[in-house]
Structure 1
Amino acid sequence: MTSSQPDFIKSIISGIGYSSKQEMIENLFIQSLKDSYERIDKNIGHENEIRDRFMKDLYQSDSDIKKWLQSKYIDLIWENWVFTPDFDFARTDIAFKITGLHFILECKRVKSADKAYIDEGLERFISLKYAKGDEYAGMIGFVISGDKHDISQRLQKKIGALPHTLSVKKTLPEPFFNSIHHRSDQNQIEVYHLFFDFIFS
């Protein structure tokens, strides 16, 4: 007797020690990024340079995720090229992948709650340019100027007012937040918004 696709995916997630996609995203993927942030150089750099600090650290530092990366149960990919619905190429910044679960993150340097975070980040998930078919995705704001809590609060207001936004909520501590959206194919996606400070030395 063959199991259904959801049962198969659940068995993989359970084998890694989690009961749901959301629990795995929050307690393994996002927690690993938070832990990595505490270890890496926090000087301001180019967007890709900052992202690469996280990637190198996750592969090299002893952590909960390292054993899964080394055993290839989980793939961590950056500069991940994908086809859009129009068969154009798009490049996502970070992807955690196991069979049946892709958690795609787009990274942006931010100084304020500017439109680029939404127009060149969040909207790419809504239009299916990124993470088509996925239930969850993420944005990372590399805060290079200003207060991350203030930026988060202002972005919550702006995102909450968008026509495709269903809700803005917090499942993780400030300044992180989540937003749930109708996508252009009428499916829904929940986006985690993460903010980390980077400074001039």
Structure 2
Amino acid sequence: HRLVMAETFSGLKQRVLWKWNQETMHNISSNVRLDKWLPQQDILGHPKLKLFIGHGGLFSTFEATYHGAPFLGMPVFADQAGNVNRIRAEGWADVVKWDELNVQMFKSKIEEMVYNKTYSEVVKQKSLIMKDQPMTPHETVTYWAEYVIRHKGAPHLRSPVIDMPLYELYNVDVWLVLASMLLLVLLLLLWLVVGLVRCCCCRASRRKPAKQQKTKKKKN
């Protein structure tokens, strides 16, 4: 997979920034820069950014939305596939499956997303919606910090969960009652089944002596 990606990136006209655990790679072209760490927020916010390729983690998709960056997802595990499929349905992302990865397909998807302006237009509209807030994040933090100070810790905003005992918080008492009722029903059903079986056995045992007496009378 690494070789396929390296060959694909080497064949692109654009400059590629690739986060890799080593700063060198054999047969890598000059348009690809490798680095162990990259300032992702600054890169996504750069006006010349054309495409963001990643695994599709939740925070990565949020960051791509905020900065208006089209996203090409290569999910590996957990929620990544779901995240990529969700934003793909919104019209500003696409997905690459690892078992189908090859140079031709990978390059085709990259070029489609880079040159097709629809992806960029859709995600930029998403970015505008996300940023359209009554206050900036800095103003929001400042307001609530001062609010808590003004109201001496704002005890009226404290969640009642803080003062709940654990058995009440996790509904242990409720589950115990439900479990007891279920156990009682099962015991009642068991008692009925046992009673029916005994009744049937008693009737069968009574019929056998009666049949034996009839056969003896016939012989006599």
Same fold, TM-score > 0.5, yes or no: no
Q: TM-score, normalised by structure 1?
A: 0.30
Structure showing greater Rg? 2
Q: TM-score, normalised by structure 2?
A: 0.28
